[in-house]
Amino acid sequence: MASRRGIPITTTLYFLLQIVTFVGCGGFLADAQIPVVAPGSGGAAPKPGGAPISAPGPGGATSKPSSAPIGGPGAGGTTPGPAGGATPGPAGAPIGGPGSATSGPAGAPIGGPSSGTIFEVTKYGAIPDGKTDMMMAFLKTWVGACNSPTPSTIVIPAGDFLCGLAVVTGPCKAPIEVQVLGTISAKDPIIGDNWFVFKHIENFVLSGTGTFDGKGAGKTEPNAANLRFQSVTNGLVTGITSKDSNFFHMAVLDSKNVTFTKVNITAAGDSLNTDGIHLSMSSDINIIDVTIATGDDCISMVDGVTNVNIEGVTCGPGHGIAIGSLGKYPNESPVTGIHVKNCTLKDTENGVRIKSWPDQEAGVASDIHFDDITLDDVQNAIIIDQEYCPDGACKSKGPSKVKISNVTFTNIHGTTTDPDTITLKCSSLNPCEGIALTDIDLTCTKGGAKSTCINVKPIISGKPPPPGC
């Protein structure tokens, strides 16, 4: 689908729930005199007057006390922010969390705990019994890790955990890593547009061999994305599995320099709106060696997405790799600098696609390159569709106001199941420019492969595409 711009948090109820979440994690704990950090062997007990509390690691190891308190608002801690997050309290303590990531050459975090404190959620009250909600335990763990002056790792160990809506935010005092080794299942229902949300964090790693199970299998009403990364700078997501999301699996908004690698995303081929990785208003994104099997676009990119490298992705089932849909909302930012290469798509509805709405809003898509793509029984291989109108939702049938230019398709090879192998359907108002088809080797398993070109004159070189353009 990929038509919900930026995956907005739209409902007032969801907004209020986020505020209640953080007031509960702060004010409730202060009032009830429950320690923010659950002491393990050798762990520290809460100090009076909202003094900082050290966080226990395995074997009773603790981090050094920071100068900022981490209690509730009554203890000099944090107060709820406008979107359900938190702003620094009087002592300036953030409610985000540092991890164990270190900086790579370009400032992006690299995975694996290096040094610093380990924060394990079971020491904060999480129970791996598959039925006790670990949400409050996770939030308390995050608050403790956030205040560590050195890199820290939050560990969700092996076992079955249940979790409701979890929204955590920075900025944090040092890099943070969340390492998931167990299975986290969504507590039904998740109210709002997202399940796990990581916001306003710099130098962040989400790693491990564990699974986020959204429990969306068989549901007919799309609801919450499994994971949302909002305003994350220098991030790495590696190793984890996202399963049966109720909506997008991983949504990335307003983020910069984030890499996804060795990630597995899975949902039924007929699941609704379960895009694998959805990008909006983000730049310098890498998606490398990721496996996606879902019911919608494996990867979708909408307005404001720039400088994206997608490589070694295996996609299918699903709707392929897509730019758009574009031109639905006012003032959309351009989509530019997209490079997709060495990817394999099998049993998907589409191969590689650019789509925009007819006669709605202006937009730009340019400098987009698809190279060395293998297709295995894909329905339609190469598509530019500027008359995109799912379920008859268009206001009118006038030409699209989106301008598409400088798009190359090189060494696209394999098999399709529909004779309409290539469809380039551009706008009569803004005809496509600089569209190149090079070394296109496609065979329809039913025979009669053909191409259709409307309002575009593609530059054809090397092995020609099926006849028609």
Residue tagged 């409610």 (tokens): 95
For the question of residue 319 being annotated catalytic, the response is: yes
Q: How far apart are CA 42 and CA 56, in angstroms?
A: 7
Q: What is the pLDDT of residues 45-63, one digit of tens each?
A: 333 233 222 333 333 333 3
Q: Tell me which of 200, 249, 278, 319 is the catalytic residue.
A: 319
- Cα-based angle 380, 442, 450 (whole degrees, multiple of 5): 65
Q: How far apart are CA 61 and CA 68, in angstroms?
A: 20
pLDDT reported for residue 434: 98
- The answer to whether residue 233 is domain-embedded is no
- The answer to whether residue 109 is domain-embedded is no
pLDDT reported for residue 1: 57
DSSP states along 105-159: TTS-EE-S--SSEEEEGGGGT---EEEEE-HHHHHHHHHHHHT-SS-EEEEE-SS
Q: What is the pLDDT of residues 442-455, one digit of tens each?
A: 999 999 999 999 99
Tell me, rounded to whole angstroms, the distance of Cα 439 from its chain centroid. 33
Which residue spans within 379-431 are E strands per DSSP? 380-385, 402-416, 420-425
Query: 162: Cβ–Cβ under 8 A, 6 or more apart, which residues?
Result: 130, 131, 132, 133, 134, 184, 185, 187
- Cα-based angle 250, 334, 230 (whole degrees, multiple of 5): 30
- The answer to whether residue 246 is domain-embedded is no
Q: Which domain holds residue 397?
A: 297-469
- The answer to whether residue 197 is domain-embedded is no
pLDDT reported for residue 238: 98
Which residue pairs from 446-451 have beta carbons closer than 8 angstroms and sit at least 24 positions apart in sequence?
446/417, 446/418, 446/419, 447/419, 448/419, 449/416, 449/419, 449/421, 450/419, 450/420, 450/421, 450/422, 451/421, 451/422, 451/423, 451/424
Q: Which two tokens stand for residue 350?
A: 């589409």
pLDDT reported for residue 361: 95
pLDDT reported for residue 158: 98
User: Looking at the 3D structure of the chain, how many domains does it have?
Assistant: 2
Task: Give the dihedral sign, CA 255/260/263/266.
Answer: positive
CATH number of the domain that residue 463 is part of:
2.160.20.10
pLDDT reported for residue 33: 24
Entry pTM = 0.79
- The answer to whether residue 379 is domain-embedded is yes
- The answer to whether residue 167 is domain-embedded is no
Q: Which of 36, 63, 87 is the endpoint of a domain?
A: 87
- The answer to whether residue 391 is domain-embedded is yes
Q: Which of 64, 87, 110 is the endpoint of a domain?
A: 87
- The answer to whether residue 374 is domain-embedded is yes
Q: Which of 31, 64, 87 is the endpoint of a domain?
A: 87
Cis check for the bond before 46: say yes or no (omega within 30 of 0): no
Per-residue pLDDT of the chain (469 residues; tens, 9 = 90+): 555 454 443 333 333 334 333 332 322 222 222 223 333 333 333 332 332 223 333 333 333 333 232 222 233 333 333 233 333 332 223 333 333 333 332 333 333 444 479 999 999 999 999 999 999 999 999 999 989 999 999 999 999 999 999 999 999 999 999 999 999 999 988 888 999 999 999 999 999 999 999 999 988 777 899 999 999 999 999 999 999 999 999 999 999 999 999 999 999 999 989 999 999 999 999 999 999 999 999 999 999 999 999 999 999 999 999 999 999 999 999 999 999 999 999 999 999 999 999 999 999 999 999 999 999 999 999 999 999 998 877 877 899 999 999 999 999 999 999 999 999 999 999 999 999 999 999 999 999 999 999 999 999 999 999 999 9
Q: How many CA atoms lie within 13 A of 371 on its CB side?
A: 9
Q: Which two tokens stand for residue 94?
A: 């953030």
